[in-house]
Amino acid sequence: MARDLHLSISLARNGVQVSFVSTPRNIQRLPQIPADVLSLIHFVDLPLPQLDGNILAKGDEATVDIPFEKIQYLKIAYDRLKYPFEQLVISKCPDWIINDFIPYWVIEIAQKNEIPVAFFSVFSTALTVFVGPPDSLFTDGVKRLRPSSESLTVRPPWVDFPSSVAFRSHEAASFYAGAYMENASGISDVCRLAEVLQSCDLVAIRSCPEYEGQYLELYEELLHKKVIPLTKEQVHEIAHGLELSGLPFLWALRRPIWAVHEDEVLPDGFVERTCSRGIEGNKLRSNLKDATKIFGDHELHRGYATKFVEYLRDNVKNKSLD
């Protein structure tokens, strides 16, 4: 939810009016939005329908509220938001809908009302590529390409370059059960994702070419549609986590052509506070300075957000974003 809010703030700072739609408690959990975008972000809460037998308690509106075995029932409740969401869309007449994959029925609503859809993925491009294109996620594709959890422990056939991205056996078993198996909602998570990927107009993803260039290029090829990298706060979040961990680390990345001022990239004082964690402190300091040329450049990330807005404006059907 917070990541969706970050995107909303970036859009608002580019002059876009945003209606942020969620359930009441999820909206209450969000941090306050910055004063400069208060007039551009409007929260719309849709009450979560109650299920028979009180399977979910009042206020159980997110996965953090419930044990794993109840998540399938949360999806049923969310699926029952289809009608109120459609009424909202009809009343608002938005230029674009940006959503994730759980409410896969948004696609049908958008098509009926001739509104383009952007799928916003909060996962890394490497993981989304590993999971695969739509034809590997529908039932027949799963039977053919992902027949068991063991198929998640090796590089998939559509990844045509060296990659170590895969699950360990115990991770694969858990992920397969949660994502590939049918649940009480009647549709698996990967089928939801396939429906969205197959019919959305573009994919926005939290990444950048300097970090996951090969994966971004491959994902566009697999999907046959535009994939736009979006990242602003992500790298600083990683840096903050690395600093809090107290563990040795190394970021090794190629230098991009856009890097100008390396002292603007990582959080202030990050290099000085963490430079002693490597096997060789001076070498780590040097490597970290090189890493500043890639990670955390606010101007770069604002640029990605601006390009995303430009794409939305250029591809809106009723041309009313301005």
Residue 319 lies in a domain: no
Distances, alpha carbon 78 to alpha carbons 1, 105, 164, 210, 300, in Å:
15, 10, 35, 36, 36
Residue 275 has what pLDDT? 73
- One domain, residues 86 and 225: yes
Number of Cβ atoms within 10 Å of the Cβ of 34? 11
- One domain, residues 94 and 57: yes
Residue 321 lies in a domain: no
- One domain, residues 307 and 249: no
Residue 51 lies in a domain: yes
The per-residue pLDDT of the chain, averaged, comes to 83
- One domain, residues 29 and 72: yes
Longest dimension (CA), the chain: 63
d(CA 1, CA 81): 17
Residue 248 lies in a domain: yes
Residue 99 lies in a domain: yes
- One domain, residues 243 and 165: no
3-state secondary structure of 306: helix
CATH number of residue 193's parent domain: 3.40.50.2000
- One domain, residues 134 and 262: no
Residue 24: partners with Cβ closer than 8 Å, 6 or more residues away: 45, 47, 48, 61
Exposed, middle or buried: residue 38 (CB in 10 Å: 0-12, 13-18, 19+)?
exposed
pTM attached to this predicted model: 0.77
Residue 15: partners with Cβ closer than 8 Å, 6 or more residues away: 40, 309
> Of 272, 265, 268, whose CA–CA distance to 232 is shortest?
265
* pLDDT tens, position by position, 194-247: 999 999 999 998 887 877 889 999 999 999 999 988 754 555 565 666 677 676
Residue 259 has what pLDDT? 38
- One domain, residues 75 and 8: yes
Across residues 119-123, what is the average pLDDT?
91
Residue 47 lies in a domain: yes
Residue-range definition of the domain harbouring residue 246: 235-291
Percent of the chain with pLDDT over 90: 59
* pLDDT tens, position by position, 261-305: 555 566 677 777 777 764 333 344 454 455 555 455 555 556 666
- Are the beta carbons of 266 and 296 closer than 8 angstroms? yes
* Overall number of domains in the chain: 2
- One domain, residues 209 and 263: no
- One domain, residues 190 and 260: no
Residue 72 lies in a domain: yes
* pLDDT tens, position by position, 6-42: 889 888 888 899 999 999 999 999 989 999 999 999 9
> Of 45, 48, 52, 76, whose CA–CA distance to 60 is shortest?
48
Residue 281 has what pLDDT? 34
- One domain, residues 216 and 307: yes
Residue 180 has what pLDDT? 96
Residue 320 lies in a domain: no
- One domain, residues 83 and 54: yes
In the 8-state DSSP scheme, what is residue 186? S
* 171 band by pLDDT with thresholds 50, 70 and 90: very high
- One domain, residues 76 and 133: yes
Residue 251 has what pLDDT? 54
